[in-house]
Homo-oligomer: A and B are copies of this chain.
Amino acid sequence: MRLTLVGFGTVGQGLAQALVEKGGLFERRGLAFDLVAVADSRSSVVDVDGLDPASLIERKRSSGRVGESQQTALELIREVDSDVVVEVTPGNPKDGEPALTHIKEALRLSRHVVSANKMPLALHFAELTGMAGPGLALRYSACVGGGIPMLETGLACREAEEVIGIDGVLNATSNFILTKMQDEGYDYATALREAQNLGYAEADPTLDVDGFDASAKIVILADHLMGRDLTLTDVNPMRGLRDLTPQDMRRAKARGKAIRPLAVVGDRAEVGPKEVDPRSPLNVFGATNVAVFRCEDSGERVVAGSSGGGVATSRAVLRDLVAIARGWGRGRV
C-alpha cells in the first residue's frame, strides 16, 4: 500500500522507523507499505516509486526538514496517487486545523485515512466517520491510549452487549504529575518541571494539564463505543490540575484514597482530578493510561499500559494500516 504521511514528528518518525524495522514481519504476513509522499510543517518530499524511510529520518534530524520541496500537505494529498493518508500532525483543540482539512480532502478523494491527530475526531466525529464507509476506511486507534489497543478492546466489549459507561485515566502526563505529587510530596510546579525534563510534558503543557487531551479522548471513546454524538465542548466540567496542592493529596491519602486525573462518560462527560479507591483499576501510576468499560451484562473490562510516547503511538498507526491492508482486497470504493 502506498502511503502519504502528513506530519513528521515523533509519531511520524516512529512510523518511518517501523517501516524499516518491521519489513520482515509484514512480508511474512503478506503485507507491504511504501511511503510515497511525506510532509512536515516546513517542507515535503515525493517519490512515487517509494521513499527510503531511513534517509528521511536522517535528513529531518540533520536539517530539521523532511524534504526540499515546498509542496504543502494538502497539495500532496491532492496530487500524489496514494492509497492511505496518514495524518500525524499536532492537535489543535480550537478548530482541529490543519488536520481537519487534510482528513476531509483525503476522504473526499476516496483515500483511506489513518489519523493519530485526535482533535478533528473530537470536534467532528459524526461528520468525518460519515464520510467514510464500506470500502473507505477512517481509522484512529492512535488517538486514544497511545499504543494501547483501547478502541479495539472496547469494540470487542460491545460486540455482544452495550457499553454503558467509560472511566479512564487518559492523559499520561497528568497521571505522571499526580503520581509525583502523591509519592514524593512535590508541588504541582515541581512535578510539571520533572515531567518536562523527562519529555513527558511539552514546554506549553496546556493541552495535557488543563484537560483538553483527556476530553478529546473520552469524546472519541463515547462516540465510537457508545454511539454518542458528543463533541469537545460537551465535556463539562473540564478541570485541570493547576489548582491541586500537596495538601489535597495528603488529605485524600488520609481518607484512604488516591487522586487520579479521570475522564468519565456515562449520562454526561467530565474530566478532572478525582478520588479513587487504592484498589480500583483506575489507580495506575506514572505515565500510564487505563480505560474501564462498564458493560451492560458482564461488568467492568479494563485495558491499560504505559502510554509510551511516539514509538508506541506509531504502533497503533501501524495496526490501523494492517487492518486497512487486510480489508482492502474486499473492495475499495
Asked if B157 and A18 make an inter-chain contact with CB atoms under 8 angstroms apart, the answer reads: no
| A interface residues, how many (CB within 8 angstroms) | 40
- Complex: A281 Cα to B308 Cα, angstroms: 16
Asked if A315 and B298 make an inter-chain contact with CB atoms under 8 angstroms apart, the answer reads: yes
Asked if B306 and A300 make an inter-chain contact with CB atoms under 8 angstroms apart, the answer reads: yes
A308: which B residues are within 8 A, CB to CB? Answer: 298-299
A290: which B residues are within 8 A, CB to CB? Answer: 302
Instruction: Report the minimal beta-carbon distance from A86 to chain B, rounded to whole angstroms.
Output: 13
Given contacts A298-B308, A305-B300, contact A25 B315 (CB under 8 A): no
Asked if A156 and B153 make an inter-chain contact with CB atoms under 8 angstroms apart, the answer reads: yes
Query: Which listed residue, B161, B299, B300, B322, touches A160 by the CB 8 Å rule?
Result: B322
- Complex: A323 Cα to B322 Cα, angstroms: 18
Per-residue CB contact flags for chain A residues 308-333 toward chain B (1 = under 8 Å, else 0) read 10011001101101110000001000
Asked if A319 and B18 make an inter-chain contact with CB atoms under 8 angstroms apart, the answer reads: no
Per-residue CB contact flags for chain A residues 10-42 toward chain B (1 = under 8 Å, else 0) read 000000001000100100000000000000000
Q: Which of A58-66, A144-152, A205-213 contacts B (4 or more CB under 8 A)?
A: A144-152
Binding site for B on A (CB under 8 A): 18, 22, 25, 147-149, 152-153, 156-157, 159-162, 279, 281, 285, 290, 295, 297-306, 308, 311-312, 315-316, 318-319, 321-323, 330
A-B contact pairs, 30 of them (CB 8 A): A18-B160, A22-B160, A22-B161, A147-B295, A148-B301, A149-B153, A149-B156, A149-B301, A152-B152, A152-B153, A152-B156, A153-B303, A159-B323, A160-B315, A160-B316, A160-B318, A160-B321, A160-B322, A161-B315, A279-B285, A281-B304, A290-B302, A295-B315, A298-B315, A299-B305, A300-B305, A300-B306, A302-B302, A303-B303, A330-B330
